């Protein structure tokens, strides 16, 4: 019997390079890795439509599919591929003078997409940590939903490209915007893709920019936001349960090699610094107590915002055998 043919859809970063170039290959699996997508949403749409056997999936979309039954049935591995604190993702106009998310109560806030994980997290944080009632905000979303459904807040949909909200914010048509990106080290210390994007406008900045302030909120909440998670189609798991230990081991090996794939010494320093300031490796491909708190917070926000009617036990999101080691 030949190896199992498996298609894996993942983005390019240090933790995926050993899988992409074939340095790491999962035992018993002939892996085809698709890693070039025009938009992140194309990968997530593909997962929802069952185009790939496994891949990086929006964590909020995963939870919604498990609760509502919409989309391709899939279960997670404890491989939290994209994560990072989401305080820097709240963008304001420099002319506003706002320096605290609490000042956003009653304001008009632009979103890339209403049900994106980053948006769910920031809206929940605003209410829970900063006292900004979500019902009091005028929400404006650029893109349509991946999983349309109920919601507890009124949202104005523009049906435009996501950058439209930054253009509107720069022009003074919005009070703030919530935009994805700035993951891992950059979510704490800045300097990532989001900062480079907003720098082009000249008059925008993150509402929270002090790393110590961000880390203080992280330590107080005990939550390290999980944006994207690796999932596997349930049909594949049922027919080939051996993919779980094989893929997990491969992701763990790729993680160990991530530091060797850092493009520059500075980037390697950033990867090491993230682990140091967090006090743990958030990409160790295991479900820890902090990860459980983080997923519980996301599910709590999804319920509060009306996307799902109930929270699920965190462990029920994961493939059988994936939490055994």
pLDDT along the chain (325 residues), means of 10: 89 95 96 88 85 95 92 95 96 96 97 94 97 96 76 88 96 97 96 96 97 96 96 96 96 97 97 97 97 98 94 97 90
pTM of the predicted structure, to 2 decimals: 0.94
Please report where in the chains the tokens 């915002």 appear, as a residue: 305
Assigned fold of 4-83+224-317: D-Maltodextrin-Binding Protein; domain 2 (3.40.190)
**Closest of 32, 26, 37 to residue 7, by C-alpha:** 32
- What is the reported pLDDT for 148? 62
Distance CA 43, CA 34 (A): 9
Phi, psi at residue 120, to the nearest 5°? -55, -45
Phi, psi at residue 227, to the nearest 5°? -90, -50
- Which residues have C-beta within 8 Å of that of residue 250, sequence separation ≥ 6? 19, 24, 25, 26, 27, 31
CATH of 90-221, one of 3.40.50.620, 3.30.470.20, 3.40.50.970, 3.40.190.10: 3.40.190.10
């Amino acid at each position: 019997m030949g190896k199992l043919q498996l298609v894996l859809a993942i983005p390019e970063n240090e933790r995926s390079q050993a899988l992409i170039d074939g340095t790491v290959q999962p035992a018993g699996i002939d892996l085809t890795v698709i890693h070039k997508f025009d938009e992140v949403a194309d990968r997530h749409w593909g997962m929802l439509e069952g185009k790939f056997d496994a891949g990086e999936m929006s964590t909020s979309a995963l939870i919604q599919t498990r609760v509502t039954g919409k989309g391709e049935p899939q279960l997670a591995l404890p491989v939290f591929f994209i994560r990072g604190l989401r305080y820097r993702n709240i963008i304001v106009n420099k002319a506003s003078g706002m320096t605290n998310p609490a000042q956003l109560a009653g304001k008009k806030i632009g979103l890339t997409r209403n049900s994106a994980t980053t948006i769910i997290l920031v809206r929940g944080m605003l209410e829970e940590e900063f006292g900004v009632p979500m019902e009091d905000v005028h929400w404006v979303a650029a893109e349509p939903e991946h999983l349309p459904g109920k919601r507890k807040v009124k949202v104005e949909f523009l049906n435009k490209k996501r950058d439209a909200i930054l253009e509107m914010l720069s022009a003074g048509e919005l009070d703030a915007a919530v935009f994805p990106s700035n993951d891992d080290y950059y979510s704490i210390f800045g300097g990532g893709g989001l900062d480079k994007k907003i720098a082009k406008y000249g008059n925008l900045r993150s509402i929270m920019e002090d790393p110590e302030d961000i880390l203080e909120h992280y330590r107080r909440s005990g939550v390290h936001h999980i944006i994207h998670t690796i999932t596997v189609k349930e049909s594949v798991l049922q027919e080939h349960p051996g993919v779980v230990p094989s893929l997990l081991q491969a992701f763990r090996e790729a993680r160990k090699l991530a530091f060797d794939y850092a493009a520059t010494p500075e980037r390697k320093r950033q990867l090491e610094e993230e682990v140091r300031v967090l006090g743990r490796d958030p990409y160790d491909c295991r479900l820890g107590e902090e990860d459980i708190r983080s997923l519980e917070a996301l599910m709590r926000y999804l319920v509060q915002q009306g996307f799902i009617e109930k929270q699920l036990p965190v462990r029920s999101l994961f493939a059988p055998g994936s939490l055994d080691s």
